[in-house]
Structure 1
């Protein structure tokens, strides 16, 4: 398509959605902006409008990802509770990905806001490294800082034994929370 032909916002959003559907890896907003000849802020707005139109697009630290519905060979999903410090975050995530786990998100329960979550979609040590680097560069706090380190992860694996092995490794390291003491 020639660059000089301006697309309508609706057509650009359709192309963005179609492009994300085809990709298996997250796509950075800047790359989408360059591809469509618009600013990154326009892409952010387009993604918001696509989400409002019920497109299953999620924003991860690695970029935008189309959340395809699971197929017949569904993965096993579980929610696990963990507690650790910011300095131990990468270790916790590496334990999970080393067991073939996809860490879909992090969730905390806030007293005023209720459930707060962040989409992670971390599946490899490289993803953990990138996330750690982003957290350091942005001097960002963990969501779990709001809850004295206590947080949940929605995780996904090929089978239940993988999740159980990962939970055991987290328990051995002292990261897994199986019950919370009354305070």
Structure 2
């Protein structure tokens, strides 16, 4: 009888310990998410052709307004023209959104594509400094006044992104942000 009671007590203690651990980890995760939201963890860099800086700045402003409306997160906005040589130069914060415009137009478009590829590679290699590359096409935005990812055949072939409606695109970005955020919170809890 005593052996039975002892086994029950040990089992009960184990269950309670596991429950408390799970609760603690969940609370810590929730705190991490809240902390990230409240401390402006997102930086947005716009890579643009310096000859068309005004248009590109307007593109970024439209994106930021829509982003903040969708996600309720503030963006620290930074403008960078094509004199930037390397994506590593601006990967300084935990969450960085890299936006390039006029993706395939002439030499500037080729440079932007290079930056975009660097951003993707950096994001894969450094998960604790996550870069989220986004491509916006200025002509589409001028026509619709709504930011879109620009999907040309070459980009789709290289990166496998899907075409979709505006809402599909923002939903996809939402999944990416939540995945990155979860990863960062996992890293911070190690």
Q: Which has the larger radius of gyration?
A: 2
Give TM-score, length-normalised by structure 2: 0.26
Taking CA–CA contacts closer than 8 Å with sequence separation of 6 or more, which of the two structures ends up with the larger relative contact order?
Answer: 1
Select the structure that is richer in helix.
Answer: 2
Give TM-score, length-normalised by structure 1: 0.27
